[in-house]
Chain A
């Protein structure tokens, strides 16, 4: 994939500014409006963590492989390390912080706790959002479908067995729709 050895310089037309200007964006973040001025190259995950201060979204590989930075963009899971913050102007972003409500943890969070589906917790925010989307698209997945659904989220601790069990438990209880975003 990365066989290109040629490394071109940063090319900018003569007469144009070398330093890109900041761009004003507004977005809905976990149901609330957020406005900011950001440099174009700031990734969405860095924006969430360092500009907004929401550190629930984790940064792992920064090239789309590990899934730790998964967030919901207009309701769909995306890698926030492969999006620039300027791209989500006018869009709806939900992070892991949106999952629990005043009434308590989301059924998936409860199931992860009950089934010991996390150890170090680094992959958990992404894993939960991937599982949430999976159950919204397919409320009663079999084990293979669960494994395919979370295949983009790497976990170094659990061996996935308890994660699969937790998702199965929520699917069987039919409670996945509780707390579903509108």
Chain B
């Protein structure tokens, strides 16, 4: 339960960190909050030769709300987002989700960027990022690129980030005004990874028709996913119990869950149907009709 030996370096700037990351070419790991990386090292599932501690790089941290977007520096602690009154006002689904991430002491240390890059398919933040069409800014010593979230998550704990890249920040588009939201999950114990997690955003026009909807799920496949076909069923229609049931059933057909020690695939499908339907109902109850101009 002790990690293998490693060299520890705390770069004093992002440029220095990127230079070292390039130099060590796959033999270094970036240490942010360490709430997933250090357990993996303690179990010796990971044995990096070098740890680059970026916790001193204050430029990587911060919450910005501007131009209809929320931008989170990758080193922003989860607890900082959780306790931000501005985030709760503008993007309550994120606050609701982050309260389900592990426990207070983990959120004090764990970072937004770390959770996305770790890419656990049952983690909460990746599901929210998928629901909100996040854009990720990745930087290497050779330049900077922007990656839309569907091209970021490749599978179980796998992303398209390069070995020489660091996630700098993540932007999420704020949904239209009056949008209803729900983030809910089933987990065995408070703070556990979800067996199934669901994020829903729902907007109605003045006539009560659905004009914007997002349904994202976690824990039901190798990566967090959007139920695009289910979303299409809702567009332009008036919410009803029957429609939500039909949509939830359609969303289940888009999932690809596996059996594991926590739950069987069929149980995950069953939970998905229930949680998508309930999330649609909750989001619907929180919509404010007709306030569609942001």
Once A4-B40, A40-B51 are accepted as A-B contacts, the answer to whether A152 and B105 lie under 8 Å apart by CB is yes
Question: Per a CB cutoff under 8 Å, which of B47, B79, B102, B189 touches A10?
Answer: B47
Smallest CB separation, B109 vs chain A (Å)? 5
| Segment from A143-151, A165-173, A174-182 that makes contact with B | A143-151
If over half of B's interface residues share one DSSP class (helix, strand or loop), that class is named, otherwise mixed; here it is loop
Is B49 an interface residue when CB atoms closer than 8 A count as contact? yes
Contact B47 A76 (CB under 8 A): no
Q: Is the interface of A mostly helix, strand, loop or mixed?
A: loop
Residue pairs across A and B with CB atoms within 8 Å: the count is: 133
* Interface size, chain A (Cβ < 8 Å): 48
CB–CB A77/B105 < 8 A: yes
CB pair B42 A63 closer than 8 Å: yes
A84 lies within 8 A of B8 (CB): yes
Please tell me if the beta carbons of B105 and A67 are within 8 angstroms of each other in the complex: yes
Complex: how many Å from CA A41 to CA B51? 10
A67 B109 Cβ-Cβ under 8 A: no
Residues of B within 8 A of A89 (CB): 10
Q: Which residues of A contact B10 (CB under 8 A)?
A: 86-87, 89
B34 pairs with A77, CB closer than 8 A: no
A120 interface residue per 8 A CB criterion: no
The answer to the question of B58 belonging to the interface, with a C-beta cut-off of 8 Å to chain A, is no
Does any Cβ of B come within 8 Å of A96's Cβ? no
Q: Would you call B8 and A20 a contact (CB within 8 A)?
A: yes
**B3 close to chain A: CB less than 8 A:** yes
| Tally of B interface residues using CB under 8 Å | 49
In the assembled complex, which residues on chain B have CB atoms less than 8 Å from the CB atom of A7? 44-45, 47
A153, B189: Cα distance in complex, Å: 12
Given the known inter-chain contacts A10-B4, A84-B8, please indicate yes or no for A4 contacting B38, CB distance below 8 A.
Answer: no
C-alpha gap A31/B43 in the complex (Å): 33
* Chain B residues whose CB sits within 8 angstroms of the CB of A137 once the complex forms: 83
Tell me the smallest distance from the CB of B152 to a CB of chain A, in Å: 19
CA distance A3 to B258 in the complex (A): 13
Contact B5 A10 (CB under 8 A): yes
Q: Closest Cβ of chain A: how far from B5's Cβ, in Å?
A: 5
At the interface, yes or no: B6 with Cβ under 8 Å from chain A?
A: yes
Contact A78 B108 (CB under 8 A): yes
- Whether the pair A77, B5 counts as a contact (CB closer than 8 A) is no
Task: Tell me, in angstroms, the Cα distance from A1 to B260 when the chains sit together.
Answer: 11
Question: Which A residues between 71 and 130 are near B, CB-CB below 8 angstroms?
Answer: 73, 76-79, 81-84, 86-87, 89, 130
Residue of A9, A13, A81 touching B24 (CB-CB under 8 A): A13
B1 on interface, CB distance cutoff 8 Å = yes
Contact B104 A134 (CB under 8 A): yes
**B162-173 vs A, Cβ < 8 Å mask (1 yes, 0 no):** 000000000000
B105 touches A70 (CB 8 A): yes
Residues of A contacting B104 in the complex (Cβ-Cβ under 8 angstroms): 77, 130, 133-134, 148-149, 151-152
User: Do B6 and A20 touch (CB < 8 A)?
Assistant: yes
Q: Are B190 and A41 in contact (CB-based, < 8 A)? A: no
Choose from A77, A134, A147 the contact partner of B108 (Cβ within 8 Å). Answer: A77
**Pairwise interchain contact B35-A2, C-beta atoms closer than 8 A:** no
Check B106 against A152 for contact (C-beta < 8 Å): yes
Q: Quick one: which of B1-15 are within 8 Å of A by CB? A: 1-8, 10
Name 23 A/B residue pairs within 8 A (Cβ), A-sorted: A2-B40, A10-B4, A10-B5, A11-B26, A11-B49, A13-B23, A13-B24, A41-B2, A41-B4, A46-B2, A62-B1, A63-B38, A64-B106, A70-B105, A73-B109, A76-B79, A77-B105, A79-B105, A82-B35, A84-B38, A148-B99, A151-B190, A152-B105
Besides A12-B50, A39-B5, A130-B105, 7 other A-B contacts (C-beta < 8 A) = A1-B39, A12-B27, A13-B23, A63-B1, A63-B39, A78-B108, A152-B105
Q: CB within 8 Å of B: which residues of A?
A: 1-4, 7-13, 16-17, 19-20, 23, 39-41, 43, 46, 62-64, 67, 70, 73, 76-79, 81-84, 86-87, 89, 130, 133-134, 137, 147-149, 151-153
Closest 4 CB pairs of A and B: A152-B103, A40-B8, A63-B39, A11-B27
